Amino acid sequence: MRSTPSRRATATGALIAAAALLAVGVQTGGATAAPAGSAAPAAAAKGADPGALPAQLSPAQRAELIREANATKAATAEELGLGATEKLVVRDVVQDVDGTTHTRYERTLGGLPVLGGDLVVSETKAGATESVAKASRATGAQLKAVGTAADVAPAAAEKQALTAAKAEGSRSAEASKAPRKVVWAAEGTPRLAYETVVGGLQHDGTPNELHVITDATSGEKLYEWQAIENGTGNTQYSGQVTLGTSGSSGSYNLTDSARGNHKTYNLNRGTSGTGTLFSGADDIWGNGSATNTETAAADAHYGAAETWDFYKNVMGRSGIRGDGVGAYSRVHYGNNYVNAFWSDSCFCMTYGDGSGNAAPLTSLDVAAHEMTHGVTSNTANLNYSGESGGLNEATSDIFAAGVEFYSDTAEDPGDYLVGEKIDINGDGTPLRYMDEPSKDGASKDYWYSGIGSVDVHYSSGPANHFFYLLSEGSGAKTVNGVSYNSPTSDGLPVTGIGRDKALQIWYKALTTKFTSTTNYAAARTGTLAVAGELYGTTSAEYTAVANAWAGINVGTRPGGTDPDPGGTVFQNTTVKALPDRATTNIPVTVTGVTGNAPSDLSVAVNITHTYRGDLVLDLVAPDGTAYRLKNSSSSDSADNVVATYTVNASSETANGTWNLRIQDAYAGDTGTFNSVKLTF
Residue 235 CA to residue 421 CA, distance in Å, equals: 12
Is residue 373 predicted with pLDDT exceeding 50?
Answer: yes
pLDDT digits (tens, 9 = 90+) for 457-516: 999 999 999 999 999 999 999 999 999 999 999 888 999 999 999 999 999 999 999 999
Query: Residues 352-381: what's their mean pLDDT?
Result: 95
Residue 197 CA to residue 209 CA, distance in Å, equals: 6
Query: Residues 58-84: what's their mean pLDDT?
Result: 92
Query: Residues 98-107: what's their mean pLDDT?
Result: 95
Q: Cβ distance 587 to 629 under 8 Å?
A: no
Angle between helices 520-535 and 461-472 (to 10 degrees): 20
Which of 377, 362, 380 is closest to 286 using CA atoms? 362
Residue 453 CA to residue 451 CA, distance in Å, equals: 5
Which of 322, 336, 329 is closest to 298 using CA atoms? 329
Is residue 17 predicted with pLDDT exceeding 80?
Answer: no
Query: Does 75 or 33 have the greater pLDDT score?
Result: 75
Is residue 90 predicted with pLDDT exceeding 80?
Answer: yes
Q: What is the DSSP letter of 52?
A: G
Q: Which residues contact 497 (CB under 8 A, 6 or more apart)?
A: 470, 471, 540, 541, 544
Q: Which residues contact 126 (CB under 8 A, 6 or more apart)?
A: none
Q: Cβ distance 107 to 155 under 8 Å?
A: no
pLDDT at residue number 259: 94
Domain at 561-679: CATH code = 2.60.120.260
Residue 425 CA to residue 427 CA, distance in Å, equals: 6
Mapped to the 3 state alphabet, what secondary structure does 541-585 carry?
HHHHHHHHHHCCCCCCCCCCEEEECCEEEEEECCCEEECCCCEEE
Is residue 323 predicted with pLDDT exceeding 90?
Answer: yes
Chain mean pLDDT for the chain: 87
Distances (CA, A) of 228 to 27, 133, 452: 7, 27, 19
Give the least confident one: 161-175, 274-288, 338-352: 161-175
Residue from 68, 195, 370, 533 carrying the catalytic annotation = 370
Which of 353, 348, 355, 345 is closest to 330 using CA atoms? 348
Fold classification of 30-142 is Nuclear Transport Factor 2; Chain: A, (3.10.450)
Is residue 10 predicted with pLDDT exceeding 50?
Answer: no
- Whether the model pTM is above 0.85: no
State phi, psi for 35 to the nearest 5 degrees.
-60, 150
pLDDT at residue number 610: 82
Query: Residues 54-82: what's their mean pLDDT?
Result: 93
Please check whether the domain covering 233-377 is classified as CATH 3.10.170.10. yes
Is residue 421 predicted with pLDDT exceeding 90?
Answer: yes
Give the least confident one: 229-233, 258-262, 572-576: 229-233
pLDDT at residue number 41: 58
Residue from 262, 373, 457, 465 carrying the catalytic annotation = 457
Residue 400 CA to residue 509 CA, distance in Å, equals: 17
Is residue 33 predicted with pLDDT exceeding 70?
Answer: no
Which residue ranges make up each domain of the chain?
30-142, 233-377, 561-679
Per DSSP (E only), the strands in 322-391 are: 328-333, 340-343, 348-352
pLDDT digits (tens, 9 = 90+) for 432-470: 999 999 999 999 999 988 899 899 999 999 999 999 999
pLDDT digits (tens, 9 = 90+) for 117-154: 899 999 999 988 888 888 755 555 568 778 888 888 98
pLDDT at residue number 40: 54
Query: Residues 575-602: what's their mean pLDDT?
Result: 90
Is residue 22 predicted with pLDDT exceeding 50?
Answer: no
Confidence of residue 5 (pLDDT cuts 50, 70, 90): very low
Burial label, 294 (beta-carbon count in 10 A; 0-12, 13-18, 19+) = buried
503 three-class SS: helix
pLDDT digits (tens, 9 = 90+) for 162-195: 888 888 777 666 777 789 999 998 887 899 999 9
Query: Residues 326-345: what's their mean pLDDT?
Result: 95
Q: Is 457 an annotated catalytic residue?
A: yes
Confidence of residue 207 (pLDDT cuts 50, 70, 90): confident
Which of 105, 93, 94, 95 is closest to 134 using CA atoms? 105
Query: Does 136 or 386 have the greater pLDDT score?
Result: 386
State phi, psi for 435 to the nearest 5 degrees.
-75, -30
Is residue 8 predicted with pLDDT exceeding 80?
Answer: no
Query: Residues 109-117: what's their mean pLDDT?
Result: 92
Confidence of residue 562 (pLDDT cuts 50, 70, 90): very low
pLDDT at residue number 141: 57
616 forms beta bridges with 663
Query: Residues 345-354: what's their mean pLDDT?
Result: 95
Query: Residues 267-281: what's their mean pLDDT?
Result: 96
Query: Residues 559-582: what's their mean pLDDT?
Result: 72
Residue 481 CA to residue 477 CA, distance in Å, equals: 10
Parallel/antiparallel/unpaired status of strands 328-333 and 348-352: parallel
Residue 261 CA to residue 282 CA, distance in Å, equals: 19
Parallel/antiparallel/unpaired status of strands 626-630 and 615-620: antiparallel
Q: Is 652 an annotated catalytic residue?
A: no
Confidence of residue 563 (pLDDT cuts 50, 70, 90): very low
Give the least confident one: 37-46, 67-76, 170-179: 37-46
